[in-house]
Every structure is written in C-alpha cells, then in structure tokens.
Amino acid sequence: MYKIAIIILLIINTLNGQNVKIYGDKNYPPYSYLENGKNKGIYVEVVEKAFKKMKGFNVVIELGLWGDVFTKVKKGRGVGIFPPFYKKERESILIYSEPLVQEQVVVFGTTRKLKGKTKWPEDFYDQNIGVNSGFGYDSMGGKAFLKAYNDGKLEISESRNNKLNLEKVNSNRLDFYINDKLIDISDYPKIKRGPVAVSNYGYLCFTKNIERYKFIPKFKKQFDYIIQEMKDNGEIEDIIKKYIK
C-alpha cells in the first residue's frame, strides 16, 4: 500500500506540474512593481504571459526588495529572478534566459541643469548622480560612468526607488538621476529626459544551483522558446506600448 501511495502521489504531482517561484523587483516601475499588493509592470506581464503558455510548471511571481531577492537567487536559495542586466562576471553565478525587453537608461534633470549637456558621462562630471539602491553602476550608466566615479570625477547617491530620487532632483538636493526612459515623471513638470546613458536588455536569470532545482534546464528551454515566439509575433511589443505615456 505504501508503494502504491507513493506512485499515486508522483502521478498527481506530474499532472499538477512542478511548482516554481520566480522573484522580481518591487520598486522598478513601469517594469515591475507592487500596486495595492498586486504585481504590475512590463516584465511582470511578459513573464506571466510566457508562464501561462508553459506546460508542466505552475509558476508564482513574488516581488521584493531587489538586493534581497537578487542575493537569494545568487546564493542558490531561489530559482530565478527578473530583470538583471547582462554582466559577464555574473555568468559564474547566474544562467541567462533569452533577452526579454530592451531598456534605455536616460539622464533625468531639470531643464535648466540639462541645458547644453549632450555627452554622457563627460558633460556630467562634478555632478551628483542618483541611482536606485542595489543597481550596478556600470549596468545603469556604462563602464565610462563607473570609471568616472572611481576616478572621483562625479558623485553617486543611492535612494530606494524612483520617487525618492525624482523628489531629490526636483528639490535640487540631487543634480541628476539615471533610470529607464519610461519611468513616470508626470508629477514632476520641472524634470525632463536628457541624453541616453546606456541601453540594456533585461533577462530572467536562474540560479546555477541545478542540484537543488533539477528542472531548471527544461524550464529555461521552454521559456526561451516562448519568449522568442512572443517577440516574433509582436506580443511583447504590444505589452510595452501600453506603458508608454
């Protein structure tokens, strides 16, 4: 009877599919964020749509503080996370999916401060640049930006989210802020979009702890195929268009 019960349990689990929890950033509008306790954003919609098309997996998305959930996956205590940018050094700790969405990071500032500034990062030396906590400086601003910071040519200040950084720029407590061009700045009429700092693709990244999560290769193969299909048929572009204001 014991063996029969085990067999029945295995059959039930197979029919129900593998349960998978994927993490994301809760403070990254319009790409991934919490609104009244609900998961929202471009990446959320893209991966949710892909997960619904997948067979054999029951996927749950949990959004949290970026540094916390990134560390969890990096250390092998979580299956995957979206949307890290590509960094070669991360290949030793993460497995990258098919690219999801291309993001453009731009410089935000007041019209007065942006005047005459077209070259990034050279035109922004001796300025204090805001970034969101937990984001890699080179990922957000490029290698030249990171070098300028290390050489003492500019300052970098971190705040938890878009709102805090934008408020600092608006009140002149911060010179500029770099983030994705699609973030909502409608509450800050003095703030404008400046030059492009860098373009990056966001990915769904998986832990390399395959021993603990043996289903990852199968999951990734199916996910990558569906994402490519969604790009080819315009589904991802349609999702992005809904967020352009």
Q: Is the predicted pLDDT of residue 144 greater than 90, yes or no?
A: yes
pTM as predicted:
0.70
pLDDT confidence of 180, banded at 50, 70, 90?
A: confident
Delimiting residues of CATH 3.40.190.10 domain(s) in the chain: 17-100+203-241, 103-200
Q: Is the predicted pLDDT of residue 14 greater than 80, yes or no?
A: no
Q: What's the topology of domain 103-200?
A: D-Maltodextrin-Binding Protein; domain 2 (3.40.190)
Q: What are the structure tokens assigned to 168, written together?
A: 């600092």
Helices 42-53 and 216-232 cross at an angle (nearest 10°) of 110
Task: Confirm if 156 and 125 have CB atoms less than 8 A apart.
Answer: no
Q: What's the topology of domain 17-100+203-241?
A: D-Maltodextrin-Binding Protein; domain 2 (3.40.190)
pLDDT confidence of 15, banded at 50, 70, 90?
A: low
27-38 pLDDT per residue, tens: 988 999 999 999
Task: Fill in the DSSP letter of residue 86.
Answer: P
Distances (CA, A) of 223 to 70, 96, 233: 20, 11, 15
Tell me what percent of the residues of the chain surpass a pLDDT of 70.
Answer: 93
41-60 pLDDT per residue, tens: 999 999 999 999 999 999 99
Q: Is the predicted pLDDT of residue 7 greater than 50, yes or no?
A: no
Residue keyed to tokens 């970034």: 131
Task: Confirm if 186 and 60 have CB atoms less than 8 A apart.
Answer: no
232-242 pLDDT per residue, tens: 999 999 999 88
Cite the beta strand spans of the chain per DSSP E. 18-25, 27-28, 32-35, 38-40, 57-64, 80-82, 94-96, 101-110, 128-132, 155-159, 176-180, 191-202, 205-207
Mean pLDDT of the chain: 92
Query: Residue 139: its pLDDT value, please?
Result: 84
